[in-house]
A and B are shown apart, each in its own frame.
Chain A
Amino acid sequence: MARDDVKTGYKYVGTRPNRPDGLDKVTGRARYGADFSLPGMLHAAVVRSPHAHARIVRIDASKALALEGVKAVVTRADLPTGLTGEDLNLQDNTLAGDRALYDGHAVAAVAATSPLLAQDAARLIEVEYEVLPHVTDVDAAIAPDAPVIRPGVADYSVPEGMHGNVARYMEFGHGDVEAGFAAADVVREHTYRTEATHQGYIEPHAAVGQLGEDGRGEMWVCTQGHWYIRRMCSAVLGIEAANLRVTPSEIGGGFGGKTTIFMEPLTLALSKKAGGRPVKLVMSRSEVLRATGPTASASMDVKIGMKRDGTITAGQVYFRMQGGAFPGMSPIGEALPCAFACYDIPALKHEGIEIITNRPKAAAYRAPGSPMAAFAVESMIDELCRELGLDPIEVRLKNGARNGSKSSYGPVYDVIGLQETLEAAKAHPNYSIPLGPNQGRGVASGFWFNHGGETSVSLAIGEDGTATVSIGTPDIGGSRASIGLMVAETLGIPYEDVRVNVVETGALGVNEPTHGSRATFASGKAAVIAAEAAIREMCKRAAAEWGIDADAVEWKDGAAHPAGPNAGKFPPMTIGEIGAKMGSTGGPISGHHEVTAGGYGASFGTHVVDVEVDPETGRTTVLRYLVVQDAGTAIHPAYVEGQYQGGAAQGIGWALNEEYIYGPDGRLQNPVFLDYRIPVASDLPMIDTVIVEVPNPGHPYGVRGVGETGITPPLPAIASAIAGATGARIRSLPCSPPKVLAAIKALKKG
């Protein structure tokens, strides 16, 4: 049920006002990464490796530098040495050292007086390569004959005897799985595969950087987290964080892909070499696809035991994930705990390895690891349900996690809403619409941890009683609106009187990016606490005016009131009156809050999809789609629905079309939107949503964070719907028409 239909006692929370940045965004005034320019600005282009794996023998930039208007070239030789750990990985990814590790790996960069000139100059930079053997497939990379890409990549966790491309190993679980399987009526075991996909934000990465001789610099950049940009660029270039001021632009989508750096340090390195002139670098779409941070590809073994009544007795998984040529980037550490997070199963065993391949350095993508894990486990549960003739929602209600369940990854769940999403899905009309020929229905649930993280917010009361809130989490999908609503609710002033700004790194303490579904949760929570601090100060000011004790003043409806008859008889003093006088009553009034926010609540959702499969072509059409998800509290329901719908659409793309295709030469074969096909308007139906609200006790307004869970269920739900429509189970994404057609044909022959 949407918040609009629920009595809550809130005045602003749960309403759907216009977002504060709406006008700028419908008129073209909003400034995104590539929209920023400075006087004297140069433009940059990057030289990239055409090889999946090669030794860089020689770089000769003399021809490029001889062009009139070319101002600087940087190679790895221009960056400081001696970095270690992830800093070194970031530097290695910014510019290749002695080896290019994937198709598209940056090798050199050039700055010139125009974008076209920079591109011309890049073509004149000669790079001599000695091609080395490569591997791009996750399973092929651990075959005995696979070349070891980075000797010594394994961390402490990898046991002796594993392949040299294994970087991490993990195992956990509880209970006795063998006894669990023995107690089951049916035990099934299969391998599931998902291909790498890209976040596919429509705005390519873009930055303008300026760095002077004195080591002081500035950057304007589209990012989910400008403090991360500051820290990473400082580390890669060997400058002090305080000397780099980073201002975030409006951001044209991120989905996790803009939580790290790719080409950003190049703008600063080029600027410094070009005498401090600012340098703009905008990636092309093919650069984005080849050389930013797609998600991992995965190969996953799953074994589950079920009784005839639907009770799941045991589960076991072994996941293999590759996150490109750098360790620590695959979401194996998230995928494994997500695998059975929706269930309360007595015996579970999880094992997994991270594998290095000649692919780009993976980045986070919406609920990192959870969609792959869900594809494997939820598909298998659906297979068992179909085999035993059980209703998939009933089986999930029976085995699903509830308040107090011990989670699959250890801790006990506090207050969660999985059961409520299942009940709502069961009750929704979509679940009982009769299906026609070649049509099938799929159900799956999904999970994401959510996140709190480092957060710093400040709030100032204006002379007219309005409030300005400074936050450090870039607004990707309406978080300024939802934070504005919570502050308005807390202060008791109209939403229009609150302006929320995303401010630069010089203006607040360190903030983690907008990631982990944390912006509305953590910045919102900190903003509410900051508003409460301002309220305490305003009560103090009123008390002083009235000559009573501050404790005898209470705040309601945007004004200080004497608390009860004993406090004395004074007319309420409004925030506007207090603000107007603040200079003479003690000075500016503000509140701030800095915290590594805890108290985030886990997020669960359940999706129901109907598809029709054309038996002639294998093409799948999504007929109707339902997202049910627990939001905790929906602060701005329209943007909560938007997150659900957008997550579902990305998941549908992953399920049906999207994949990274590498040729035998190790080159990405589809680095354009024409061939890396994300869903378009005519591919999708309306996406129905149900917002379940099981408030999170760890947030003043019950927020859980809604951004990520929605991408998780579509992968298995669609594959299961296709199985329902055709009888053919696709265990390897995407469910592209040729694959589905082949599966149907195999079934007929079978």
Chain B
Amino acid sequence: MAKVHLWASLRRFADGQEVVEVEAATVGQMLDALERAHPGLAPAIKAGLSVAVDGEVIANNRAAPVKPDSEVYLLQRLKGG
């Protein structure tokens, strides 16, 4: 299962957990699984998130692959100038 790291201020929406393990083959599946497991995360996911999968920051691509042993970090959606 992929390990999804939540930033500290998100943890209160996920029963205080720092890392949530989810079954997912893509970023989209991962986000959906997170939301199912912890509905309190829905507003954060809806507001827009970037994720880093195994070091690579993915700004916005639900199809990007997630491996069973992937380390995923949730980040705030990043903007550029």
Contacts and interface: CB of A to CB of B under 8 A. Distances in A.
Q: Do chains A and B touch in the complex (CB under 8 A)?
A: yes
Interface of A: 155-157, 159, 169-173, 199, 255-257, 259, 331, 333-334, 337, 351, 364-368, 409-414, 448-454, 515-518, 596, 598-600, 698, 707-708
B1 interface: no
Contacts of B58: 598
A517 B81 CA distance: 7
Nearest to B41: A156
B64 to A, nearest CB: 7
B76 interface: yes
Contacts of A157: 9-10, 44
Contacts of B80: 256, 364, 367-368, 448-451, 515-518, 708
For the complex of A and B, 3 pairs with smallest distance between CB atoms = A516-B80, A256-B81, A333-B76
A368 B55 contact: no
Interface in B25-81: 43-44, 47, 52, 54-61, 64, 71, 73, 75-81
Contact of B73 (A169, A255, A409): A409
Contact of A410 (B13, B52, B61, B64): B52
B61 A598 contact: yes
A229 B56 CA distance: 29
A257 B80 CA distance: 10
Contact of A598 (B64, B71, B81): B64
Interface size class of B (residues with CB under 8 A): 20 to 34
Given A333-B78, A410-B73, A516-B80, A596 B43 contact: no
Contacts of A199: 81
A409 B75 contact: yes
- Most interface-central of B56, B76, B79 (chain A CB within 10 A): B79
A227 to B, nearest CB: 14
B52 A171 contact: no
A603 to B, nearest CB: 11
Contact of B44 (A156, A255, A599, A708): A156
6 contacts: A156-B47, A171-B9, A172-B9, A364-B79, A412-B54, A515-B79
Contacts of A255: 81
Nearest to A295: B81
Contacts of B59: 451-453, 596
Nearest to A452: B59
A182 B79 CA distance: 36
Contact of A411 (B12, B52, B60): B52
A599 B9 contact: no
A155 B47 contact: yes
A159 B8 CA distance: 13
B56 A411 contact: yes
Nearest to A451: B80
Contact of B9 (A169, A450, A452, A707): A169
A735 to B, nearest CB: 23
A173 B8 contact: yes
A369 to B, nearest CB: 9
Contacts of B8: 171-173
Chain A CB within 10 Å, residue with most, of B54, B55, B58: B55
A518 B73 CA distance: 22
Given A171-B7, A596-B60, A413 B81 contact: no
Nearest to B12: A159
A199 B7 CA distance: 31
B53 to A, nearest CB: 8
Contacts of A256: 80-81
Given A256-B81, A453-B59, 17 more contacts: A159-B9, A170-B7, A199-B81, A257-B81, A333-B78, A364-B79, A364-B81, A365-B81, A366-B81, A367-B81, A368-B81, A409-B75, A411-B57, A414-B55, A451-B80, A518-B80, A599-B56
A257 B54 CA distance: 32
A698 B58 CA distance: 12
B62 to A, nearest CB: 9
A257 to B, nearest CB: 8
